[in-house]
Structure 1
Amino acid sequence: MTPIAVYDEIADWYEKQFLPASTPGDPIGIRASLAELLGPGDGLCLEVGCGTGVHAAQLRELGWNPVGVDLSTRMLAYARERLPIARGDATRLPVRDAALGAVVAMMVHTDMPDYPAVLREVARVLRPGGVFVHVGVHPAFCGGFADRSDPEAVVISRGYLDGYWTKHSWTTEGVRNRVGATHLPLPALLRAFLDAGLVLTDFAEGGDPVPTTLSIKAIRP
């Protein structure tokens, strides 16, 4: 079955309204986590699910040469101004085995219904010793089960343990209520890394007072 590029429907809104309206700085620790876990390097770094390519600039600042792959043609229309891109399914990456020293996935795992398959592809394209950095919404504090309307607290309802796809969201200003999101509980997410043959080496959380992001560093042994 050919995957559906749901972000085609919201690409213009994402680039022209959602991104400009995002809080300036790094309030949920996306940039800090990428810098901490990936760090300086050189050579190619593949961004899986690159979207409009907004993380390419930071990858270059760290010394990497970013390239991106995404399923959405309309998102890639913006990304091509920021980095070399290819259209492709993250569960079948258009990259040969053991070709890359670094891969990143930035705030996209909930957009990928079969993220365990994506992780297996990441492991395939990494060379031995290659680094993978996952920066994603926090599985314990973000999702259709989490009400984040109070900036000082998160109210968790039933649903965290289930693992499901939903458009339910505490806000109408975000992405989930438009395209939906897939949820993996924390143990299932970590297990998917192990099942892919990746070795977990470091972690980071971002956001205050309750974390919004969980970031994971892994290597291919």
Structure 2
Amino acid sequence: MAKTAYDEIADWYEEQFLSTQRLGHDPLGIEGALCALLGEGSGVCLEIGCGTGVHAAVVRELGWAPVGVDLSSGMLRHARGRLPIARADAGRLPFRDGSVPAVVAVMVHTDMPEYPAVLREAARVLRPGGVFVHAGVHPCFCGGFADRGDPGAVVIRPGYLDGHWTKESWTDQGIRDKVGAAHWPLPELMQGFLDAGLTLERFTEGGSPVPIVLGVRARKPLTGWR
């Protein structure tokens, strides 16, 4: 597989970026979304785009056995001690149809220009009745169109409806100006779940004062999945 953008920043991400995220207790509401939407369970929980594996501890605390896949060998180098891993394309997961009870995708959908195809792959590998949890940057308040320079407000500029890949960012201290991001307006993002044959069950938002994270729980139907 070719080298990925995250290979170039893997050490920075692990050693510098994550340390700033840990200054507060779950400041973005990511752990809260995982706990509320995934809930307690058992068996394998596949994390698509696991990166350095920082969410594995929360998944494990809920009773699941986390397993991660990612395309970046640099990120996986840091993940090895946190969960079992495999280097794989999210659009071609190395799992059999209907083989896992839970799948999560945490803060990665903007890294995947073909996220609807990823949702279809998640649905494919899920067991009937299995749960899929998406926790990602909020499409309404995060993106090249959103100026978050003021901690108390977000200025939304033209561009929200222009789904595209961009490196535009309000800060050069984060990830997006380094690796870019795909933007999915809210209707297109939600439609991707439905087109994958998943049933939407629950939603949550995290971060303040303006939401940064949107969480979604969906389920693969017990019967009639296409």
TM-score interval for Structure 1 and Structure 2 normalised by the shorter chain: over 0.9
Structure 1 segments of 4+ aligned residues over 6 angstroms from their partners: none
- Between the aligned partners of 1:153 and 1:199, the Cα distance in structure 2 is 33
**Secondary structure, counterpart of 1:171 in structure 2:** coil
1:53-94 CA deviation, whole Å, 9 max, x = no partner?
Answer: 000011110000000000000100110110000000000001
The one-letter code sitting in structure 2 at the alignment partner of 1:82 is R
Aligned CA RMSD, in angstroms, stands at 0.9
SS in 2 for 1:54: coil
Q: Distance in 2 between matches of 1:85 and 1:31?
A: 21
After TM superposition, the structure 1 = structure 2 runs for residues 77-92 of structure 1, keeping only pairs within 5 Å, are 77-92=77-92
Contact persistence 1:29–1:213 (CA under 8 A): yes
Quick check: 1:108 aligned with 2:123? Answer: no
Length, aligned pairs only: 220
- The letter for the 2-side match of 1:118 is V
For residues 139 and 191 of structure 2, what CA distance do their matches in structure 1 show?
13
Quote the residue 1:130 is aligned against. 130
Q: Where does the alignment leave 5 or more consecutive residues of structure 2 unmatched? A: 222-226
Distance in 2 between the 1:4 and 1:40 partners?
36
* Alignment partners' CA distance in 1, 2:207 and 2:127: 32
In 2 relative to 1, CA 4–114 (structure 1 residues): closer, same or farther, beyond 3 Å? farther
Normalising by the residue count of structure 2, what TM-score does the alignment of the two structures yield? Answer: 0.96
Q: Secondary structure at the match of 2:201?
A: strand
Does residue 119 of structure 1 match 2:119? yes
Give the CA deviation at 1:49.
0.1
Q: Name the CA distance, whole Å, in 2 between partners of 1:181 and 1:154.
A: 18
1:3·1:89 contact (CA, 8 Å) conserved in 2?
no
Where 2:77 maps in the other structure, the secondary structure is helix
| TM-score normalised by the chain length of structure 1 | 0.98
Q: Which residue in the other structure is 1:64 paired with? A: 64
Match of 2:6 in 1: 7
Per-residue deviation, residues 123-156 of structure 1 (Å, max 9, x unmatched):
0000100000000000000000000010110000
Letter of the structure 2 residue corresponding to residue 11 of structure 1: A
SS at the partner of 1:10?
helix
Give the gaps of 5 or more residues in structure 1: none
Report how far residue 24 of structure 1 moved.
2.3
Write out aligned runs for 1:130-149 (5 A): 130-149=130-149
Deviation at 1:26, TM superposition (A): 1.0
CA contact (8 A) 1:103 1:131 kept: yes
Structure 1 residue matching 2:129: 3-state secondary structure: strand
